[in-house]
């Protein structure tokens, strides 16, 4: 049996949900396929549970800072079971809201996987077939697993959220978002952390601010190695030990986290059967309009080669639905100047070009402005860690092409500055703006 729709969406994560809901708002008949829970990685294994853990880490820090401010309360450990219950209740509510919204929009939710049998036809797990002129691949990505001896002794990021008791000693292998964030969060909650990376941390962020973040991480007690090459893991009587080609044996550890990248969920989709092209990492190749090389098949979100961020997937999906069903034939996401934040301790945010990228593109036209300062809440108790703000500008008019910030609160303050940059911000605009005092954000307005 074959059922017809206007649109089939494979995957009910952020990108798939956004695409399906916007298309239905335009009057399209939509089927949304996913055998897993609504919300995908972001809601269940990514942004939402990670941010909840970040809040817990912030509160752990705040307990200690409160003592230094003069409060009498003593810091205590996190009740893991209580915290997990709070977090799960919040996640369940999000999933329920999605289910309600999908029902109200008239979207057919199919809790099964699907694969292509033709460019306009998807076969479900139970053998039923769905047909549509437009099909969107939004199946997301999952943690990469390596063919290394003892890999199974460690966790991947999905597993961290299942922990009821946090490890005392943990090794984290990797140097990207996931590795740095979990290193900071687990250390703040009481773990001893070794962060083992093969090269520089957080490639793609401004190197100067990354170095400043690394220094603060090391000051807090995180042991960072940038020349590590883990070849194997072993279970011993004392815990988990690692064979490092650069440093020999490491450990023992109570736990091990592999944070070595993510891979797109494309292998079970039958893409070869319809000729959809992928890159060497199996991402679905799409153009600026989210089209694959096959007419009527599109891709959004982490399954593509574009930046793997929830707001990117959402925006791309909505633009695609507007183009296909909303009478907006050129609607597409502008992938330039997308802000992002690493929820480290302290957080690191950026929008636009790094200094290196700007110099490669504009050469001698680049000018850079800095501001280093001790945030007031730290200065009051004599702490010496510094926030760092940086503007990357171009030309005599000093058009701002990059804004970078490290320190408490930057995860919130950067959003407004990102809007300004998107609209063509110049440094003179910042100079002419009256600051809110006393704040850390005002430092971006007061650079010489």
Burial classification of residue 207, based on how many CB atoms lie within 10 Å of its CB (0-12 exposed, 13-18 middle, 19 or more buried): middle
Among 365, 315, 343, 326, smallest CA distance to 409 is for 343
DSSP 72-135: -PPP----HHHHHHHHHHHHHHHHHHHHHHHHHHT-EEE-S-EEEEETTEEEETTS-EEEEEEE
Which of 168, 281, 369, 437 is labelled catalytic? Answer: 437
User: Do residues 269 and 10 make contact, with C-beta atoms less than 8 angstroms apart?
Assistant: yes
**Rg of the chain over all Cα atoms, to the nearest angstrom:** 24
CA max distance for the chain: 72
Task: State the distance between the two ends of the chain, measured CA to CA, in whole angstroms.
Answer: 69
For residue 13, the Cα-to-chain-centroid distance in whole angstroms is: 14
Return the structure tokens found at 328: 């907006």
Alpha helices in 276-424 (DSSP H): 310-325, 355-362, 376-379, 410-422
User: Do residues 221 and 197 make contact, with C-beta atoms less than 8 angstroms apart?
Assistant: no
Cα–Cα distance, 53 to 37 (Å, whole number): 21
Tokens 């860690």 -> residue: 385
Pairing of strands 192-196, 169-173: parallel
Cα–Cα distance, 164 to 142 (Å, whole number): 22
Residue 370 appears among annotated catalytic residues: no
Angle, helices 355-362 vs 207-219, to 10°: value is 170
Active-site residues, by number, are 437
């Amino acid at each position: 049996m074959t059922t017809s729709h206007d649109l089939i969406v494979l995957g009910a994560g952020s990108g798939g949900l956004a695409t399906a809901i916007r298309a239905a708002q335009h009057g399209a008949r939509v089927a949304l396929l996913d055998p897993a829970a609504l919300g995908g990685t972001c809601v269940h294994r990514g942004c939402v549970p990670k941010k909840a853990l970040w809040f817990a880490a912030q509160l752990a820090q705040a307990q200690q800072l409160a003592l230094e401010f003069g409060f009498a309360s003593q810091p205590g450990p996190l009740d893991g079971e209580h915290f997990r219950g709070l977090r799960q209740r919040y996640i369940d509510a999000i999933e329920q809201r999605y289910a309600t919204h999908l029902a109200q929009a008239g979207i057919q939710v199919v809790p099964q996987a699907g694969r292509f049998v033709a460019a306009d036809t998807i076969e479900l797990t139970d053998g039923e077939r769905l047909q549509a002129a437009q099909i969107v691949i939004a199946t997301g990505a999952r943690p990469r697993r390596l063919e290394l001896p003892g890999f199974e002794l460690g966790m991947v990021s999905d597993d961290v959220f299942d922990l009821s008791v946090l490890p005392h000693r943990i090794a984290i292998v990797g140097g990207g978002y996931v590795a740095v964030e979990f290193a900071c969060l687990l250390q703040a909650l009481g773990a001893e952390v070794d962060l083992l990376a093969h090269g520089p941390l957080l490639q793609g962020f401004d190197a100067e601010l990354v170095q400043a973040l690394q220094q603060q991480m090391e000051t807090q007690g995180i042991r960072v190695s940038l020349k590590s090459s883990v070849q194997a893991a072993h279970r011993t009587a004392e815990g988990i030990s690692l064979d490092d080609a650069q440093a020999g044996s490491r450990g023992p550890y109570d736990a091990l986290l592999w944070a070595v990248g993510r891979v797109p969920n494309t292998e079970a989709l039958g893409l070869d059967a319809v000729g959809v092209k992928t890159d060497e990492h199996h991402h679905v190749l799409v153009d600026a309009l989210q089209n694959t090389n096959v007419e009527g098949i599109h891709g959004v979100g982490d399954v593509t080669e574009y930046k793997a961020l929830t707001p990117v997937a959402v925006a791309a999906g909505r633009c695609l639905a507007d183009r296909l069903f909303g009478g907006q034939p050129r609607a597409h996401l502008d992938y330039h100047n997308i802000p992002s934040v690493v929820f480290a301790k302290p957080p690191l945010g950026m929008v636009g070009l790094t200094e290196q990228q700007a110099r490669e593109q504009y050469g001698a036209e680049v000018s850079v402005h800095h501001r280093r300062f001790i945030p007031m809440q730290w200065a009051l108790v004599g702490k010496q860690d510094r926030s760092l703000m940086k503007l990357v500008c171009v030309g005599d008019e000093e058009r701002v092409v990059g804004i970078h910030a490290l320190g408490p609160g930057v995860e919130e303050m950067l959003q407004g500055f990102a809007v300004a940059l998107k609209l063509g911000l110049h440094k003179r605009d910042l100079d002419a703006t009256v600051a809110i005092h006393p704040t850390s954000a005002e430092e971006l307005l007061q650079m010489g």
